[in-house]
Structure 1
Amino acid sequence: METNTASQQAFRVWRDQLRMLLGSITSWVHPLHDLDHFSIKETQSGYSLADTSNRKVEEKGLALKLTFADTELLIGPSSFSVSEAPGGSMLSTGVVTMVGFGMKETCQIHYSNGAFEKFTYGEQEGVMGEISFTSLLASIIPELKPAATYA
């Protein structure tokens, strides 16, 4: 019973932190609204959720779609799990991915025990924050290809 309650609490924290992360990203990309044909839209994304008993379900979560003229970038959760670490403490981990047409790699933003701490993109790794995110986004945008190429 305690484990189930702890899993539920960890999931609530994850949802709150996910909402805060996506809210931050929305404010960080606000200057891009000056570009022609740029838009940002909230959407839903499916992802896997696993508890300490390794029961898995599909969950829907908040995601963002950034549209740049003829292409787009989707930022949304891909997984969240709660497990019991050695010594009996709880470990909650999650991943938010950024995917777009033509990207060489999938970009991942990593969550651990209540915070989005780092991102990985191929060989690139960094601490998650406004400056690192906007730098990362600036390196990804030139890779994006028109959506029609992939239709």
Structure 2
Amino acid sequence: MASKEYVLFKINEENYGIDIDNVENIEKIIPITRVPYTEKYVLGVVNLRGNIIPVVDLRARFSIEKKEFDDESRIIIVSVNDLKIGMVVDASSEVLRLESDDIDTAPPVRGNVHLDFVREIGKNEGRIIMLVDLKKILGLVEVEN
């Protein structure tokens, strides 16, 4: 059986996972500079060790009500198609290995953008973990509505 590691994060008490191969690092919230005329879910950019990185608010991207940043809030820096992008999440604190038997294809739900971002569903010790499609979340491919 093949297994894969995922970085887990939470939004609104729901568990999500990203393939660990796409994760560069996880940072506490740092100052974010707003950029005008961007999508509503784009918070702006950060200067991370001399690199300017765009930052996306996953709560806004998933159409979940805004929440003030707190001590648990994190920016997960991901790399997709040679692009580095930050994603603000409520919390991230775990790396989890899932066996292929514990992963199912996400059920098709038309018209629900939130679920269109979910590629697969992982199961671990009674938890459901939504394994996300980074390209769709980050707007690198169009989401069908």
- TM-score w.r.t. structure 2 length? 0.28
Structure holding more strand per residue:
2
- Greater helix content: 1
Greater Rg over alpha carbons, structure: 1
TM-score, normalised to structure 1, is: 0.27
